[in-house]
Chain A
Amino acid sequence: MTKALKGALLTLCCALVVVPFLGIVATSVSTREDIVRNGGFVLIPREITFAAYRALLTGGVVPRAVGVSVFITLVGTALSLVATTLLAYGLSRPGSFGHRPVLMLVVAALLFTPGIIPGYLTVSELGLLDTYWAVILPAVVNAFNVVILRAFFMELPSELLESARIDGASDGQTFVRIVLPLSKAVLSVIGLFYAVGYWNAFFSALLYLNDSAKWPVQLVLRTYVVNQTQLGVDQVGTANLPPQEALQMAILVVSIVPILLIYPFVQRHFTKGVLVGAVKG
């Protein structure tokens, strides 16, 4: 294959990802005239206005939904990282009480998934329906992430932990002072996986949160962008309404930006063997 053809193909692939984003951002800052002239979707706006963002972010459904999503994501990711790290570390030091059966439980959890209905019944019997915990708690421990993290901890040189113990460090001190600092890269990747999972949680929110005042961003997105329910003055923070297209695209941008913000800091670790090595082991 010639160089030119390769270049053209890869450019096309990247354009297929990048151009939609640019169009969404462009439409969200377009005026009504631009949107009408372009038939609904603008790639290059002639005039830029932030009216849609002003309308969405000063009141109505979006700020509340962003607040809910941020809460679920922060609390969920923190709980997930603590529980997953402790479980994986405990399982990476063989010989402790109950080590093998618990490891079996984790691995078997990869194979047997419970299904929608029993999951729903469990959450409802625990009285968690219509609480944010219904979205958070079932997702706190992901068996796959436990397996990845355990594989990483197993690779840590045991001499290191040994020497810490000889110097008089307790299990807890070894974990906090030695193991955690060495695991920054893998923990940031796993943290990203969890955070993205919570931020993107759609079905669990649909299933467990009936009260629309508790909706996270994804449900707002579904209602007003995918299903095209019109946003009225009650749903936004300003009295005069920017065009629906701009509002819809602005909601999309609001839901994508947090992912774009953390992504660059973490993605360089993807290929550094963190994932690939763990999947292999």
Chain B
Amino acid sequence: MIFAILPGLLLLLTFHYLPLLGNVIAFKDFQPYLGLVDSPWSGLTNFRVLVEGDPYFLNALQNTVVIMLLQILVVFTVPIALALLLDSLISERLKRVVQTVLYLPHFLSWVIVIAIFNELLGGSGPLNSFLRRHDLGTIDIVGNAAVFKELVTGQVLWKEAGWAMILFLAALSRIDPHLYEASSVDGAGKARQLWHITLPGLRSVIVLLLILRLGDALTVGFEQILLQQQAVGLGTSEVLDTYVYNNGVVAGDWGVGAAIGLVKGLIGVVLVLGANKVAHLFGEPGLYQKDPR
């Protein structure tokens, strides 16, 4: 058995845990020609940007939080609604076809998704061509800083709503149909059934997904945003991950970039553990429990 796990273990150590150790760069004044080991220590200097309130950093933090809230709002409600809608279909065949179609965008890369959005919503796309033909003016969506956050959220919705629906559908199929029969005998309407049977049946999954999302709370669409940053400028589009990339990798301020990346990662861990604790207090299984095995 030890030989079986060896290749996987070595790769995990090299490309996951070695970089984790590499986070010491956050406490160093990194000089590329000296290398990581020989670069001088710099204490907490790299973390200064966090405490002193560098305006670019604060801007990135604010954008991150706003986009995250928008996405939690939309990317939780729409898939639940979709799942309810799909679950109420009688024909299994039709259900399968709709699912197949709606899952598909999840497997496309961000480059493809953004190319598609630019093509459809851009100045020469079908939307604006249609509006122009009917003398309705044009809507400036692609490359417009004012609606960038909404656009980004729309893209996430298009790409992930169908995929996010899977877990809700599975949870819906586990709800005991007798509950619906019994409640309708007792005179409950559709709305009351939704509130008292369906939503409570989904609660564990919703809590689980929320906890998982919190772990990535400060991660909002890195590739997605990086690809569109040129067009709209940093003011509205810089988020923490792109800040780390632009300042660390591109501008060569390695230590500061790593320091922010490190703090961001730690906040994610704290949020997951904290949310899991809260979920337990409310009697939900949450993400994990003390492993009985």
Interface residues of A (CB under 8 A from B): 1, 6, 9-10, 13-14, 16-18, 20, 23-24, 38-41, 43, 82-84, 86-87, 89-91, 93-94, 96-99, 102, 105-106, 109, 111-122, 125-126, 137-138, 140-141, 143, 146, 171, 175, 192, 196, 199-200, 202-203, 207, 218, 221-222, 225-227, 248-249, 252, 255-256, 259, 263-264, 267-268, 270-271, 275-276, 279
Taking the closest CB of chain A, its distance from the CB of B155, in whole angstroms, is 12
What number of residue pairs across chains A and B have CB atoms under 8 A from each other?
Answer: 233
Known pairs A116-B244, A116-B249; A121 contacts B170 (CB<8 A):
no
Inter-chain contact A226/B85, CB cutoff 8 Å:
no
B241 CB-CB contact with A under 8 Å: yes
Let me know if B258 and A13 touch, CB within 8 A.
no
Q: List 11 A-B contacts (CB under 8 A).
A: A24-B119, A40-B129, A41-B126, A97-B2, A98-B2, A117-B244, A203-B223, A221-B111, A252-B116, A270-B166, A271-B166
Which residues of the partner chain A approach B144 to less than 8 Å between Cβ atoms?
none
Instruction: Determine the chain B residues whose CB is within 8 A of the CB of A87 once the complex forms.
Output: 4-5, 7-9, 12
Query: Which residues of the partner chain B approach A207 to less than 8 Å between Cβ atoms?
Result: 249
Give every chain A residue within 8 A of B265 (Cβ-Cβ): 112-113, 115
If A117-B257, A263-B104 touch, does A138 touch B15 (CB 8 Å cutoff)? Answer: yes
Q: A17-B102, A87-B5 are in contact. Are A271 and B170 (CB under 8 A)?
A: yes
Q: Which of these, B101, B104, B166, contacts A276 with CB under 8 Å? A: B166
Cα separation A136 to B43 with both chains bound (whole Å): 34
Give A192 to B106 CA distance when docked, in angstroms.
Answer: 12
Q: Which residues of B contact A171 (CB under 8 A)?
A: 1
Q: Is the CB of A41 within 8 A of B116?
A: no
Partner of A115, one of B2, B208, B261: B261
Interface residues in chain B, defined as those with a beta carbon under 8 Å from any beta carbon in chain A? 1-2, 4-5, 7-9, 11-23, 25, 35-36, 82, 85-86, 88-89, 96, 98-105, 107-112, 114-116, 118-120, 124-126, 128-129, 132, 158, 162, 166-167, 169-170, 208, 215, 222-223, 226-227, 230, 241, 244-245, 248-249, 254, 257-258, 261-262, 264-265, 268-269, 272, 293
Contacts of B5 in A (CB 8 A): 86-87, 90-91, 98, 102
Interface SS of A by simple majority? helix
Closest Cβ neighbor of A16 among chain B residues: B158
A186 to chain B, nearest CB (A): 15
A-B CB proximity, top 7 nearest: A87-B8, A118-B22, A114-B19, A200-B109, A40-B124, A115-B261, A90-B5
Closest Cβ neighbor of B288 among chain A residues: A107
CA distance A222 to B113 in the complex (A): 11
Closest to A39 in B: B129
Q: Which of A41, A84, A192, A255 contacts B125 (CB 8 A)?
A: A41
A82 touches B7 (CB 8 A): yes
CB of B124 within 8 A of CB of A41, answer yes
Contact partners of B89 in chain A: CB under 8 A: 6, 10
Q: Which A residues are in CB contact (< 8 Å) with B22?
A: 114, 117-119, 121-122
Q: Indicate which residue in A17, A146, A175 contacts B105 across the interface (CB closer than 8 Å).
A: A17
State whether A118 and B11 are in contact (beta carbons under 8 Å apart), knowing that A86-B5, A202-B109 are contacts in the complex.
no
Q: How far is B1's CA from A175's CA once the two chains are assembled, in angstroms?
A: 11
- Known pairs A87-B7, A276-B167 / 20 extra A-B pairs, C-beta < 8 Å: A23-B119, A82-B7, A89-B4, A90-B2, A91-B5, A105-B12, A111-B272, A114-B19, A115-B23, A116-B241, A118-B22, A119-B15, A126-B14, A140-B15, A192-B107, A200-B110, A248-B115, A252-B112, A267-B103, A279-B167
